Structure 1
């Protein structure tokens, strides 16, 4: 009996030792790593969610934390200078293979977010060039954004007429507007704000983002788990959003094929279809239909999710900070008036409004963890060994909430972005991160910033948002996921005119 027990103990110890992740020499310090799950157990103990746990790693282990996420080595970076070093390094411009991302394409990493090499380089260059041609991030987009602002405001007014207490939900009001802005450039179609089928697809996309985690998912480390209960359900939620978008995009591409005029391209899909046609005899072409679908899916899903949630977070902070909201509205009244929407040219004369938007983005970045970078050769980072195949992620709140730089980072205080004369201090934006930097910087940043500014300014120009009577302030604690989202919240909404 005793010998059998000893054998079981010895066998268990050997299995543990064999499966326990082996840290490479001179790897950054970090928590204990266990078989199969790596350091994930530790993350679940120290933080309210993944983003909170990543932030606390900096306090525990310094600017670089080394750990395993499942069976994969990873480094989490906390700190402005350390992040700057990573983003400047070409040897960290690779992306790791993520099973749930490549799954719809049979294991191929397509698009521009997670692709690598020539496929990534040429498609990113192509997309940037042609998106700019169609007005991406330029003032020529302003009219389109104003149309969506008008529709968004009309939708809110209709809802207000149906309520007796002027209380409506706010967190879900901006998704269709943001998608229409994106889709005008990509696919030339506009969706109605009351389109129930489209709203259902939006919900699927949002659930997909909520079901993931920047620290990874065990199914990504061990793909066979997707066939087992619990993991199967979680994996399906993870990929369902992408599958819904892919189905929609494939239909749109087929429609474009039928009615496009090669001499007069209307949008990104048209010019990409021409690139496919021009390179059809090239066996090494990087332009093909599946790549077009995933390129559009990258822009569509990430852009819609992040921008609509950024706008919702900004309005949430206005509900919680009525004095700030009043200052914004006084500034808008003085500079813009009531007969037109705020324009991009007004931005220079609306320093407080832009300070509020910047402060909301600083304190509530919807993508608090960078998309993983990876090295394909053994290298060093800030004196530590980084074996090839290591995922490296930056915790943006370590920059946005740095006490040494901001002083009181947890406080919502837009004035921190203004000088003594009330002018906006542009240099401070260098310490507000959420889009990445370097060659892997988010493609959609220019349009996201423009849409965020114009939609927030237009909505605050037309409505006053207040805490629902008898209820506490809505919380700023986010819902976790690949990105974060505000928890569902409502406000008492009063038209200003």
Structure 2
């Protein structure tokens, strides 16, 4: 768990190496049409596989494909407003196998896929460690992949955004410079877009279930102790009283009058709870934001993203609602920048 906080520098090397390999691979494809979903998922799978096993992988490697399959199986078995979510919230129901037969089957299949994969990769002494790592990172795979899809949609729907971010990157770095996390302070517009991206997409519409430990009150409403609570993070992120024009992507909302990123205690940043908060906040928040920053900055430094087919809507209100909001994929071309 420490690696997600102060140890992020140790993980940056893994992410940076994967990004380099991805950029080299795109160069070799030389403006070929690429499916955004395949590229996004493949890139994140490579990072997770490297973090789990300490080796480098290509996105089409069998190990990466297996990790993707495991993640999809786990998400499929725990979709909200389904029996999987009910079993997760009320685990004593697992004892009643005659209930939710289909969900039990999906969860058993998911567990079997995970166990078989782990046993073929490492010895018995490391199984528990690797299972714990994967459980934490499975949702990270799904969320990061969807984030990258949304980024492609944003860049294609708003070409001026892409040019603005590229202009900022060009003003700070030569093409030969590899952008790292230490460069974030020099790229406030890129960072502000990353913040706006997470606000706008809000992939997890409802945060993980909580329960009150004492009688309390929220906005005048009494909430007794031991009450099951779900937080509607989607509404919080799109509340017009907190965010002007909430269903429009406006990265500038996170910039101050001087063009710098607003402070962490600014109301616009404090209002966003897409990763939860406090001790029950998402442990992968730092890693998720780091992944997206590195991907976005390095891709835009090297390529211009162009449409290679139909352009789907990027209106989050039209996305399928399940465990995660799922942006549509899009066919893109990466044009090498000189």
Question: What displacement does 1:380 show?
Answer: 3.7
Which aligned pairs between 1:337-356 and structure 2 lie closer than 5 A?
337-356=174-193
Which aligned pairs between 1:199-348 and structure 2 lie closer than 5 A?
199-210=65-76, 212-217=78-83, 220=87, 232-238=101-107, 240-254=109-123, 257=125, 290=128, 292-348=129-185
Aligned partners of 1:213 and 1:480 also within 8 Å: no
Which aligned pairs between 1:413-428 and structure 2 lie closer than 5 A?
413-426=250-263, 427=266, 428=268
2:200 is aligned, of 363, 374, 383, to: 363
2:11 is aligned, of 141, 164, 178, to: 141
SS in 2 for 1:404: coil
**2:287: which partner in 1?**
447
**2:215: which partner in 1?**
379
Aligned partners of 1:137 and 1:447 also within 8 Å: yes
**2:336: which partner in 1?**
495
Is 1:169 equivalent to 2:9 in the alignment? no
Please list the CA deviations of residues 142-185 of structure 1 after superposition, one character each: whole Å capped at 9, or x if unmatched: 33222110122233344456xxxx43211221334334434444
Please list the CA deviations of residues 221-266 of structure 1 after superposition, one character each: whole Å capped at 9, or x if unmatched: 66588658xx5445434554454234333444417x4xxxxxxxxx
Change (3 A) 1:384 1:358: same
Change (3 A) 1:183 1:193: closer
**1:154: which partner in 2?**
24
**1:468: which partner in 2?**
308
Please list the CA deviations of residues 58-115 of structure 1 after superposition, one character each: whole Å capped at 9, or x if unmatched: xxxxxxxxxxxxxxxxxxxxxxxxxxxxxxxxxxxxxxxxxxxxxxxxxxxxxxxxxx
Q: Distance in 2 between matches of 1:190 and 1:237?
A: 31
Q: Distance in 2 between matches of 1:204 and 1:369?
A: 22
Q: Distance in 2 between matches of 1:429 and 1:235?
A: 40
2:297 is aligned, of 445, 452, 457, to: 457
Change (3 A) 1:472 1:464: same
SS in 2 for 1:491: strand
Is 1:438 equivalent to 2:274 in the alignment? no
Question: What displacement does 1:216 show?
Answer: 4.3
Aligned partners of 2:66 and 2:117 also within 8 Å: no
Aligned partners of 1:204 and 1:241 also within 8 Å: yes
SS in 2 for 1:301: helix
2:322 is aligned, of 481, 484, 487, to: 481
Q: Distance in 1 between matches of 2:7 and 2:291?
A: 11
The TM-score, its normalising length taken from structure 1, stands at 0.59
Listed as ranges, the gaps of 5+ residues in structure 2 are none
Q: Distance in 2 between matches of 1:429 and 1:246?
A: 40
SS in 2 for 1:483: coil
Aligned partners of 1:464 and 1:496 also within 8 Å: yes
Q: Which moved more, 1:363-372 or 1:216-225?
A: 216-225
Change (3 A) 1:415 1:489: same
**1:110: which partner in 2?**
none
**What number of residue pairs does the alignment pair up?**
326
**1:189: which partner in 2?**
55
Change (3 A) 1:145 1:294: closer
Question: What displacement does 1:307 show?
Answer: 2.1
Please list the CA deviations of residues 299-325 of structure 1 after superposition, one character each: whole Å capped at 9, or x if unmatched: 221222222222222222112111101
Aligned partners of 1:210 and 1:484 also within 8 Å: no
The TM-score, its normalising length taken from structure 2, stands at 0.83
